[in-house]
Structures are given as C-alpha cells and as structure tokens.
Amino acid sequence: MISIAKKILYKIKNKKNISLNEFLNISDITEDNSINTLDNYVLMILNIKPQNFGLLSEQELESKMNSMSVEFANERYPYKILVLPKIVDITETIREQEDLKQKIQNNKFKEIIDNRIKFLLNFVSNKEIIENDFFLIIWEKETEKAKIELQKRANNWKSRLRNCELKSEILNKEEIISLIKVFNLPNYKEEENDYENHITKIKRKELNVKNE
C-alpha cells in the first residue's frame, strides 16, 4: 500500500499519462471479494476489528499476546499486515444521542444528553483523534484454483483470529475500493508528505517464509 502512495506521488511529479490500473497494479476487483493484479496474482484482504488492549490486565494482555504469537507464527504462507490510521468519525454517535433526546421527556435527562454532545464535539473539534484500521493481506499466484485456495486461507485466518478473540471480516468489492481510495485523499497527495509516517507496517520475524 505504501508503494501505491509513492506511485501516485511519482505521477504527480512526472505527469506521465499512465492509467490508474497501472499505478495500482490492479487489473480487476471482482464480485467474489478478490483483487486480480497485472502481474498475475490474486489478493484477498481481511479487516481485523480493533480491540482496546488498555482495558486488559497485565496477565490478560500477556495471555492474548502469547496466543496471537502462536497463531501468526504457524502460518506457512506469506502475508502482510497494514495498519492504517484514520480520524475518528463521531457523526453516528451524535445522531444516536439526538435520536435518544427526542424519545425522552425528562428535562434532566435531556440536559445530560446535551452536555454529552457538547463534550464530544469539544473533544474532537481541535484535535485529530486517531484510531487504527488493521488489514491482513494474503495472495496466491493466479491459477485455476487460486481463488478457492485463497478463500480457504481467508476462512482459516478468520478462525485463528477468532481463537485470539479477534473479529475479522473479508473485505467485499465496495470496501476494497474504499480502502484504495484512501490513498487518493488530498492529505495523502501532498508532495512533501512522508507516507511512512502515516502508514505502519508490522514486520514479523522470518520463519519458513518471509512475511511483512
């Protein structure tokens, strides 16, 4: 994904007429939730739902880290983990509070809700409150059975992440497109932007295969 952003930056600097597909190395995003690349690979992306580890005790955190280490270390195929920061959107939360306010009659409760909304708006108004989206990317060389094998691997990852008490979902076509569009946002297109400061890649130690 960092390479995608750098290619876009290169395009801005050199202004060459190259198609977007060439920049992204994508030939097709299919209805079966996979990406076909120009260099003949098939990719699938899982979104791992974030969890607040700050709420865990030291013993619970150590136990979770141990279980996650086992699940990730046992993977025999290459994968990449992408951690993408985004500004927290409180629009839905505010809407829920407004709806709740309309349903109650008690003025004291309404006042509490008003104060809650004011607090949330003040909290985020002058700050960039960041949360992370976690993505796991897997791929296979394109063959007749590549998508079948990739689906098996994706389901296996979902099961293993569930063993670590982590929820995950395979991105559908619309979600894949939305993820790619992130790298076309104005704040990612500035020429002086250092993309490595915005996008974190977690590298695991080399075992049987090299994963990033």
Q: Per-residue pLDDT tens for 133-160?
A: 899 999 999 998 999 999 999 999 999 8
Report which secondary-structure segment, H or E, holds 13: helix 2-14
pLDDT tens-digit readout, 2-26: 454 445 445 444 545 555 566 678 8
> In this structure, is residue 153 part of a structural domain?
yes
Under a CB-based contact definition with an 8 Å cutoff, are residues 81 and 134 in contact? yes
7 and 50: one domain?
yes
Contacts of residue 29, defined as CB under 8 A and 6 or more positions apart, other chains included, come to 35, 36, 173, 176, 177
> In this structure, is residue 105 part of a structural domain?
yes
> In this structure, is residue 194 part of a structural domain?
yes
> In this structure, is residue 206 part of a structural domain?
no
> In this structure, is residue 207 part of a structural domain?
no
Total domains in the chain come to: 2
* The model scores a pTM over 0.85: no
Structural domain for 26, as ranges: 2-87+130-201
Report which secondary-structure segment, H or E, holds 171: none
